[in-house]
A and B are shown apart, each in its own frame.
Chain A
Amino acid sequence: MPIIPVNYYIFLSLALFAIGIVGVLTRRNAIIIFMCIELMLNAVNILLVAFSKMHHVAAFALDKTTTVGTEAQLFVFFIMVVAAAEVTVGLAIIVMLYRNIHSVDINFLNRLKH
C-alpha cells in the first residue's frame, strides 16, 4: 500500500510558491509576472487537495461512507472560478497598458511615484 507523507506535498507546494515569488520579483514583463501569480494560485490548490485527501483517508478508516474532504475540493473549484475571472480582467488591463505605453515593461509604470 503506497503511503506518501503529506509533508512531501507541503514541500512541493511551498517550492512552487517560492518559484512564483522569485518570478514576480525578478521579471519585468507584466505578462510573465501574471503567469507567476497563476503559478502561486496553483501551488495553494495542490495543498488544499492534499489536505482534503489526508482528512478523507483518516475518516474513511472509521466510516466507509464518509464524505469528509468534499468542501476542500469545492474550495479549489471556487479558486479556479475566481482565477478565471481574474485572468480576464488582468489581461484586459495589460492590453490597455500596451495600448497606452506600447510596452508591457513594468518599469515604465512609475507615474504614481512622481
Chain B
Amino acid sequence: MHITEILFWILTALALFSALMVVSSDNPVHSVLWLILVFMAITGHYILMNAQFLAIVNMIVYAGAIMVLFLFVIMFMNLNKDSEPQKSVWLRLAAVVSGGSLLLILVAALKDNGGYINSMKGEGSIGLIKNLGNTLFTEYVVPFEISSILFLSAMVGAVVLGKKESSTPAA
C-alpha cells in the first residue's frame, strides 16, 4: 500500500468521524472544534490532489476566519452549555432514515463511475497559484470583480442586520 493511499484512508476516516461528532455533540463549542478538524482533513485531501492553493485558502478562510466567526458568535451569545432542547426521538429517527436513504440512492446511482486519480511524475502545476492566478485575472476577471460587489453588499447587509434597532420600531 502506497503512502498516498494510507494518507487517503486516514484523512477519510478523520473527516467522517469528525463530521459525525459535529452532528452528535451536545455542546456547540465542541461542534465548532470538530468542524475545524473536518476542514483540516479536507485540506489534507486537497494537498493529496495537488491543489495547493485551495488547500491554503481552505485552511485560512474556513478553518481560520469562518470558524472563528462561529466561535465568536457562540461565545457572544453565551450558548456554550450542554442543555440544548432535543427534537423527539421519532423525528430524529426519520431524519437519519431519510439522510441514509439519500446516501444509499446517490451511491447506487454513482458507483459505476470509472475514473481514476493517479499521480504522475512532473505533474501537479495546475493547483499552484501561478496558473490559477493567471487564469483568474485573464479569463475570469469579470466574476472576480463581481464577487467584490458581492462582498460589499454582504458587508452592508451584515451591518444593517446587526445594527441596534431604534427605539421607535418601524411598522
Q: Name A residues whose Cβ lies closer than 8 Å to a Cβ of B.
A: 1-12, 14-23, 25-29, 31-32, 34-36, 38-39, 42, 45-46, 49-54, 56-58, 60-61, 64, 67-71, 73-74, 76-78, 80-89, 91-96, 98, 104-105, 107
Contact = CB atoms under 8 A, between A and B. Distances in A.
Given A16-B16, A19-B99, A77-B136, A3 B118 contact: yes
Given A10-B113, A42-B39, A46-B45, A25 B99 contact: yes
A61 B117 CA distance: 12
- SS of A interface (majority): helix
Contacts of A68: 126
A28 B23 contact: no
Contacts of B76: 95
A74 B147 CA distance: 13
A88 B77 contact: no
B127 to A, nearest CB: 6
A2 B157 contact: no
Contacts of B77: 95, 98, 104
- SS of B interface (majority): helix
Interface of B: 2-5, 8, 12, 15-16, 19-20, 22-23, 28, 31-32, 35, 38-39, 42, 45-46, 49-51, 53-54, 57-58, 61-62, 65-66, 69-70, 73-74, 76-77, 79, 84-87, 91-92, 94-96, 98-100, 102-103, 106-107, 110-111, 113-120, 122-123, 126-127, 131-132, 135-136, 140, 143, 147, 150-151, 153-155, 157-158, 161-162
